[in-house]
Amino acid sequence: TTEIRSVCMLVTGGNGFCTGSLINNTIQDGKPYILSANHCYRDPSDIVFMFNWESESCENPLISPSSDDLSGAELIARASESDFMLLEMYDEPPFSYNVYYAGWNAIDEPANNTVCVHHPSGDIKKISYDDDPPISDDYSPGADNTHWRVIWDRETTTEPGSSGSPLYNENHQIIGQLHGGYASCQNLDEPDWYGKFSYSWETGSTPETRLKDWLD
């Protein structure tokens, strides 16, 4: 449950358009990095990061819950093959926000099972479960084994707006972020693809196209 506190909705113009996650680095200095998807790119200075917009149950409450917001960031790194984007928020979240800096795993090996926490279609925070190991896969013609493919269980799913959301392994570590797929409330048995954290880690040829220079 702690990693749920790392997930935020990305908002511009009052509309939630993608999901991101506050992510830790190896010196654990509280630098406010946000991992999301490259295709979610907007002018980072215009993005509002909406934390803790959630309820205690899956059903939406009658009254919208409150949230804790921060505005503005700068682009640190991004790449299209694994569809990752790393931003650094202008401000560190205040202690009162009770956020969590999520851990990660840069080893290219499938998890035993996975969980995704996300904001589907600009909705309050939701959770999805795949009780099976993800499959190493390609997302589109190009580099091989850039993504993890999952098919959701327990009648859970994702929707547009879930893009960029973190995929966690059984040790609560991020192993990818949502690129795209066919899963929806109408297609519970269709797959989603997550850009591999392990691929994003060091495949890029410059610090601006990989993660390792910033998180380690």
Q: Which residues are catalytic?
A: 39, 83, 163
What is the sign of the dihedral through the CA atoms of 97, 11, 200 and 160? positive
Residue 194, CA atoms < 13 Å, CB-side half-sphere: 36
Strands (E), the chain: 7-12, 15-23, 33-37, 48-51, 68-71, 73-79, 84-89, 103-104, 114-118, 126-130, 135-137, 147-151, 166-168, 173-181, 191-196
What is the token pair recorded at 154?
Answer: 């327990």
